[in-house]
Amino acid sequence: MRRAVAVRLSALLAAGALTAATAVALSSTTASAAVGGVTGYATQNGGTTGGAGGQTVRATTGTAIHQALCSRASSSTPITIQVEGTINHGNTTKVSGSSCNTAAGVIELKQISNVTIVGVGNGAVFDQLGIHIREASNIIIQNVTVKNVKKSGSPTSNGGDAIGMESDVRNVWVDHVTLEASGGESEGYDGLFDMKDNTQYVTLSYSVLRNSGRGGLIGSSESDRSNGYVTFHHNLYENIDSRAPLLRGGIAHMYNNHYKRLNESGINSRAGARAKVDNNYFEDSKDVLGTFYTSEAGYWQVGGNVFDNVTWSSRSGDHNPAGPNPTSNTSVSIPYGFTLDGANCVPSVVAQTAGANKGLKVSDGSCTPQSPDPTDPGPTDPGEPTDPGPTDPPAGANLSLGAGADGSSKASGTSYGNVTDGNTNTYWSPSGSTGSVSVKWGSATTVAKVNIRLASGSGTIGAYRLLNHDTGAVLASGSGAGTVSFSPASLKKITLEITNASGTPRIAEFETYAS
C-alpha cells in the first residue's frame, strides 16, 4: 500500500496488547448460539447452523477455546463456545486431541465442523490474534472484535488476516463482528476477511471493516477461481484502501452495505467473477467498482446504488473503473430470498446495526432496525408482547411453581429460580443476548403448554427452542414470548433455549401447564 495512506491509517487506530484474561471453561448441555438469523449464501448447500443442538462452553482465553474443540467426542460434534474477555498470544496455546487440530498464536478451526464462536457478556476481543478456518464446514462467528492481526513485525498471526478461510471450506456465517487493522501491508497487516482455495457458501452480515489497506479477497490468484457464493450485506467498510472485496471468479452478492472512504478502489471484480451490487451507499470514495490491477475482466450487475462524492479515474491498461455511470454488463441470479432497504437510508441503518456489541440488531427491510426497546409505543412483531406477559394466561395449575430451575448462564444479579417464583418483577437474564434456562422436577411431569412472560425493560426474543432436556427432542420453536402448545411430553426437565435476540431478554416467568 502507499506509504502516505498507511501512515494515515496508523494514526487512526493504535495497536497494543491488552492484559491476558483468565481461562475458564464452564460446560452445560445446551447450545445458545444465535442461529435463527442466517441469511444469504450461507443458507444454501444445506444451511449453516454452527453448534446448534450441542454443548455450550464458556471460554475467556484462546487456550480454553482450543480445549473446548479438543474435548468433543469427535471433530463434528456440535459445540457453541461463548467467549468473553481478551484473547491474545499470551493466552492462546496449542491443545491436542482427536477432535481438533490447533496451533499456538491463532484460533485454529481446522478439519472440524458444527462450531459456533459467539461473544457474550462484556464482549470478546481477539487482540493481534486471527481466526483461521481451514478444511472446515458449518461455522458461525458472531459478536466478536478482531483487531491488529499482523503477517510481519511482532507478533504475527494467521498470515495477517483477521478472519481467513482456505482449503475446502463450506458454509460459514460471520455476523455482527468488528474487524480492524492499523495500517496497510507496509505496517505488517494483510486482509480483514479473506477466502481462498475452494471456499464457498459464506455470508458476512452486519459487520464493520475499517482502517486497513485491504478489506478482503475471494481467490488468492487469477487461477484460484473455485471460490464464491458469498453474500455481503449491511456491512460498513470504512477507511479501506482496496479490496472491498477483490473477487476472482465465482459469484458474490453485495447489498445494503455502506462504503465510506475507499481510498484507492472498492469492489474489484476480475478474472471472470460476477458481482450483484444492490442498493449500496458509496460515500467519499474513489473507483468503488470495476476491474483493477489486471487485464482479466470481471463483471457486475448494478441497481439502486447511491454514489455520494465518488470520484472515478480514467480507464487505462489494467485499470477499468465501472463509473462514472456504472451500468450492468452481466446478469446474476440469486437463489435465496432477501429484502432490500432503500439505499438512501443505508448509512443510518448500518450505523445502528453493524459491528460487535450492538445487541445483534438487524434491519427489517423498511429502513427501521429491529430495536430491543420494549417501551416503543409503536406496533410490534407478532408474538412480541408490549407488557411483561399475555393478559390471557393458560388455564390450570402452573407446574413451574415450586419446581427447580437451572441454566447455561445468568447475568449478574439474576437467578434461575426467578422464572419459577410467580413474581413478574424478578427475572433471569442470560449473560449476553442468548442462553438457556430450565424448569425441573424430581419425577416425570407431563407438560403440553408453556407460557413465557417477559419482565419490564426486556430485549426481544428473536428465536427460541423448547427442548425435552431428558431426550434432547425439540418440542417447539418460534420467536417472541407468550404461550406455545405442543404434543404432551412426560419429562423431568424442560429447557427454553434462546438462540437469537435483540438486546438481553429478561424472562420473568417460565410457566408450564399440563394442557
Q: Are 172 and 142 a contacting pair, CB within 8 Å? A: no
Cell 460487535 belongs to 356
For 37, 148, 293, 398, 466, the CA distances from 485, given in Å and listed in that order, are 23, 49, 60, 14, 10
With H, G, I as helix, E, B as strand and everything else as coil, classify residue 274: strand
Q: What is the DSSP string of 40-77?
A: GGGGSTT---TTTTSEEEEESSHHHHHHHHHTSSSTTS
Q: What is the DSSP string of 229-259?
A: EEEEES-EEEEEEE-SSEEESSEEEEES-EE
Distance CA 482, CA 454 (A): 8
Distance CA 268, CA 219 (A): 12
Q: What is the DSSP string of 298-362?
A: -EEEEES-EEEEEE-PPPBTTEEE--SS---SS-----S---PPPGGGHHHHHHHH-STTSTT--
Q: Are 503 and 460 a contacting pair, CB within 8 Å? A: yes
With H, G, I as helix, E, B as strand and everything else as coil, classify residue 8: helix
Q: Are 128 and 157 a contacting pair, CB within 8 Å? A: yes
Q: Output the CA angle 77-82-86, nearest 5 degrees.
A: 130
Distance CA 60, CA 144 (A): 13
Q: DSSP label at 374? A: T
**Catalytic pick among 134, 243, 248, 270:** 243
CB atoms within 10 A of CB 308: 14
Question: Is 243 tagged catalytic?
Answer: yes
Catalytic site positions: 243
